[in-house]
Amino acid sequence: MKKFLFKLFTKLEYVDYALVILLWALGAIAAICGFPWITLGIVALHAFETVTIGLRAGIKGGEGVFYSIAMCMMFGFTWWVPLKMKTNQVYFD
């Protein structure tokens, strides 16, 4: 299952990016309307993800520190999963 998901996210990388940008836009609209919880949830999740896996995956993938932080905070796992697949950082049992 893990192999299937990683390959799927790698094939649909740009579709995933578009969906994440749409989620950020919906979060921004909801925040303007007085419901900031979607945006705060995305920020909290991506911050945790950046510290635990995104930064390390970016550096091992040859990306800079600030680029890795920015991409993981913006796109989360839709950024680091394809990066790990492309740079052979994933081993399947």
Tens digits of residue pLDDT in 65-81: 999 999 999 999 899 98
pTM over cut 0.85: no
Q: Where are the domains of the chain?
A: 1-6+35-88
Give the three-class secondary structure for 91: coil
The amino acid that residue 37 corresponds to is: W
Q: Is the alpha carbon torsion for 57, 61, 67, 73 positive or negative?
A: negative
Please, which pLDDT band fits residue 90 given cuts at 50, 70 and 90? confident
